[in-house]
């Protein structure tokens, strides 16, 4: 099996890609329950899966905010240069 064909089929099928992403996120959170923490600086470092969920939410927010800024701030009407 060619890894390129597998990746191409994942990218073309967004439903499958979302499912794979959710499974990877769930596995990351599950693995975090078994990792021992030796040095704690902040209290949220003791919460299992916090880093994975925080990273996922941060990534989603970056994409959503960037798209909103691009739409409302950068995008111009079709008649912008014809005036």
Question: Which residue matches tokens 């979302």?
Answer: 18
Distance CA 41, CA 12 (A): 43
pLDDT for 65 beyond 80: yes
Cα 16 to Cα 9, 10, 23, 71, 78: the distances in Å are 9, 6, 11, 28, 36
- Predicted pLDDT at 49: 81
- Predicted pLDDT at 1: 62
- Predicted pLDDT at 67: 92
pLDDT tens digits along 20-54: 888 988 888 888 888 877 778 888 888 888 888 88
Domain ranges of the chain: 3-74
Q: What is the mean pLDDT of the chain?
A: 83
């Amino acid at each position: 099996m060619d890894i390129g064909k597998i990746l191409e089929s994942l990218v073309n099928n967004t439903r499958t890609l979302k499912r794979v992403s959710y499974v990877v996120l769930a596995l990351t959170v599950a693995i975090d329950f078994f990792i021992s923490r030796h040095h704690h600086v902040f209290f949220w470092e003791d919460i299992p899966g916090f880093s994975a969920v925080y990273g996922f939410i941060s990534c989603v927010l970056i994409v959503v905010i960037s798209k909103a800024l691009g739409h409302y701030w950068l995008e111009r009407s079709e008649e912008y240069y014809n005036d």
